[in-house]
Structure 1
Amino acid sequence: MPDRITAFFQRLGQGVGRGIGLLVAWLIWPFMAARGWYSGRHWMVKGPVIAVLALLVGSYGYFIWQTQVWSGFNPNFVDSYRWSERTVPAGQELTAPAPASPQTTAAATAARQCQSSAIVDAAADLTDMNVNQNAWISSMLLYRLGLLGLDWDSTPFLDNKASFQRGVNQAVRRTSVELVDTLARMRGTSGVNNNLQDARSNLQFDEYSWYFGLSPFGPKTPSPSYYRAAIDSLRKFNAELTTCVAVFDGRADNLVQFLDRIANDIGSTSAILRERSENFNGGWFDTRADDRFWFAYGQLYGYYAILTAAGADFSQVIRERNLGPMWSETLVQLKAALRIQPAIISNGREDGWIMPSHLAVMGFYILRVRSNLVEVRSVLDR
């Protein structure tokens, strides 16, 4: 009996070995055939082939490097601004030092200075991180071509950074709309600021455009160029605001509307996470869980910076309504969500004990942030 068991396992091992050998042979056969074909060609054929292979290897090497290296990524980057030390809300005139002579009094009167907008600074710097400190992954040619024709978002590879960037961009887009429509207009009746209008238009541009497209057919301006133009427009607006030419209307009702829009935006993302978590339980093998997670993460990353900045721009409203503790708690919840950085995203069952459900965890934090925003809004509405 022991001999029969031993023989069975020997046959099993031999069968597995033959199977692995056949698989390896099948995988390397195209390369061996190509080598045989290549060795018999003239150098005029070999040269272009080598050039094409070198171009492919270099392009994919650059593409993989750009998707894996996240420059400027730092959830605590808002600390460097020291916005909490500002004493004047955005758009209000800064107090000039006491003049030493009548001549300096006249110069100070001529050169008025107002407080710039921290929200605009945050939006510009978030976009700068996306397209200047990093390559914009979603419009790169190899990202658009996908993996053997399969969209990278449908694979577990090389799409996390692209999803994160689109999440950050979603927060900046939403903010640019509110800046144009309410925050940078005096009681909503003054004219639209041209720089902010340009920024909003450029930020709404398609995230996937490369230098050439099929629909419509022909050359195009790539997405990063539009976003870089938006950065310039945002900085121009802040320069105008600093010289008291532009306006920033930091009223309570404007803050209420701004918070409403943000709550609705992240609420929509929460619904996307819930739908994926409930209907797909592939654990570590759910190939779409990672892009859902990192989009939500990027959105919260952007809103953490923007809401921190809003605390400085609306400091007078927050102080008058005694919202300091509630506002701080909202930022604490956002920062807690940004500490979740799993190496591999898993979309397991919520009651599972082997594979975690990172989408459910992220959705939980989003709902906590949204609940805090709704609470702040209710206090402002009283």
Structure 2
Amino acid sequence: MLDPIIAFFERVFHAIGRGIGWVVAVLAWPFVALGRWYRRRGWMVRLPVLVLLAALVVGYGHFLFVAERWTGWDPDYPASYAFAERPASPGEPVTGDSGQCASSAIVEVTHDLIDFNVNVNTWVPSHPLSKAGLFGLDWKYTPFLDNKAAFQLGINQVVRRTTVELVDRLGRVRGTSQINQNLQDARQATSYDEDAWWLTFTPPFIQPSTPERQRQAMRALAGFNAELAACQGDFDARADNLLQFLDRISGDIGSTSDILRAQMEASDLGWFDPRADDRFWFTYGQLYAYYGILQATQSDFREVYDDRRIVSVWDRANRQLRSALDMTPAIVSNGNEASWIMPSHLATMGFYLLRVRSNLVEMRDILDR
């Protein structure tokens, strides 16, 4: 009675074994062929090949190190700024300190987010082996070595949005004063290509790298805050400027929510969706940065927050942002939303996004009354 069943399972396992052996043989064939070719060559050929292989091993070892090493990550980083203890609004005189004015918390956090991306950590998107991908396939289409890069790009998206708003509205008086040159320099630097390396295949063949331009933005932001501290700069902390800033942030978060929804509709492969992880970590980086930027915004616009009584709404948004940052799955899954084996981390992150956005819209509506 059991013999046919045993024979069936033997055939199944033999077939699986043959299939695995065939896959291994196909993957190993290029290396076997290269080894045979290498053994038939003299040292005039072997030596350059050895040097090239050594360079690749060292290069990929370094890339693996920087792509997987996360330094300075702290979801509670806004607490270190002690926003509640800041003495005055940006550009306003500090009580008891003649000739000294307060700097901007938004500018300081933006500066530090750039520092976190390019100094505390290595900027992964412009690493040459990140640009090269896996045998020509972009890393974002694989489940490997793209999470940190996506996280950094999410932070950079927030930095770009913030510098634009600083130039267009916050760093000017009613939009009629001259654009601050430091803020303009910061906006131009953060708008630079995100994957630029110092060598390029097109003229002039040498160019500023992305980290270099980001450091220029840091210096420009520090220069603007120095102007504010010396009572020589403008920061227009009016209610309509706050309304527009929150509106831009709300639109930015809404766009990311659409990206998550599109990926959920395009695939339900669960743990085997190669795009789920970079979508998730881009969103995580965006919320990580907005968690600090929005607390800095409350500090810079403290009078507006108190006058319009939007502190309670902001506190809800703040709690929801912090809750989203507790999501750090080892493997990001994009399964069916009803699945109990392969959950949809994208759906959960999208839920947090929409909750934060709804609170931002509510704050905007209060300011618009």
The alignment's TM-score, normalised by the length of structure 1, stands at: 0.91
Aligned to 2:108: 121
In structure 2, give the amino acid aligned to 1:315: R
Q: What are the within-5 Å matches in structure 2 for residues 124-143 of structure 1?
A: 124-143=111-130
The SS at the match of 1:292 is helix
2:182 corresponding residue in structure 1: 195
Structure 2 match to 1:261? 248
Q: Is the 8 A contact 2:337 2:344 kept in 1?
A: yes
Name 2:199's counterpart in structure 1.
212
Encode CA deviations 1:183-224: one digit per residue, 9 max, x unaligned. 111121111100000000110111122223356673322211
Q: Deviations over 1:223-258 (max 9, x none)?
A: 111111101100011011100111111111111111
Cα distance in 2, alignment partners of residues 261 and 9 from structure 1: 60
User: What amino acid is the match of 2:121?
Assistant: N
After TM superposition, give the deviation of residue 83 of structure 1 in Å: 1.0
Q: Which runs of 4+ in 1 moved over 6 A?
A: none
Alignment partner of 2:354 out of 347, 351, 367? 367
Q: 1:323 Cα deviation (Å)?
A: 2.2
* Distance in 1 separating the partners of 2:114 and 2:352: 24
Q: Deviations over 1:291-320 (max 9, x none)?
A: 111111111111111001111111111122
Q: How much has 1:113 moved relative to structure 2? A: 0.7
State the Cα distance separating 1:32 from its structure 2 match: 3.9
Q: Deviations over 1:248-283 (max 9, x none)?
A: 111111111111111111111111111221232121
Match of 1:229 among 213, 216, 220: 216
Larger Rg: 1
How large is the Cα RMSD of the aligned pairs? 1.9
Residue 11 to residue 370, structure 1, CA distance change in 2 (3 Å)? closer
322, 341, 361: which one pairs with 1:354?
A: 341
Task: Give the corresponding residue for 2:45.
Answer: 45
Deviations 1:138-184 (A, max 9, x none): 11111111111111111111111111111101111101011011111
Instruction: Quote how far apart the aligned CAs of 1:363 are.
Output: 0.9
Aligned to 1:66: 66
> Per the alignment, do residues 69 and 241 of structure 1 end up closer, same or farther by CA in structure 2, a change over 3 Å counting?
same
Q: Aligned pair in 2 of structure 1 residues 34, 239: CA closer, same or farther (>3 Å)? A: same
After superposition, the Cα gap between the structure-2 partners of 1:50 and 1:256, relative to the gap in structure 1 and judged at 3 Å, is: same
Does the 8 Å CA contact 1:90/1:312 hold for their aligned counterparts?
A: no
For the Cα contact (< 8 Å) 2:101–2:230, is it kept in 1?
yes
Report the CA distance between 1:78 and its aligned residue. 1.1
Partners of 2:67 and 2:148 within 8 A in 1: yes
Bigger Cα displacement from structure 2, 253-262 vs 87-96: 87-96
In structure 2, relative to structure 1, the CA distance for the partners of 1:363 and 1:49 (3 Å cut) is same
Do the aligned partners of 2:106 and 2:293 also contact (CA within 8 Å) in 1?
yes
Relative to structure 1, the CA distance from residue 14 to residue 300 in structure 2 (aligned partners, 3 Å threshold; closer, same or farther) is closer
Specify which of 267, 270, 283 is matched with residue 296 of structure 1. 283
Unaligned runs of 5+ in 2: none
Q: Tell me, yes or no, if the aligned pair for 2:87 and 2:95 is still in contact at 8 Å.
A: no
Alignment partners' CA distance in 2, 1:14 and 1:215: 53
Does the Cα contact within 8 Å between 1:164 and 1:299 map onto a contact in 2? yes
- Give the counterpart letter for 1:324 in structure 2: V
Contact 2:197–2:207 (Cα < 8 Å) also in 1: yes
Aligned partners of 1:65, 1:319: CA distance in 2, in Å? Answer: 46
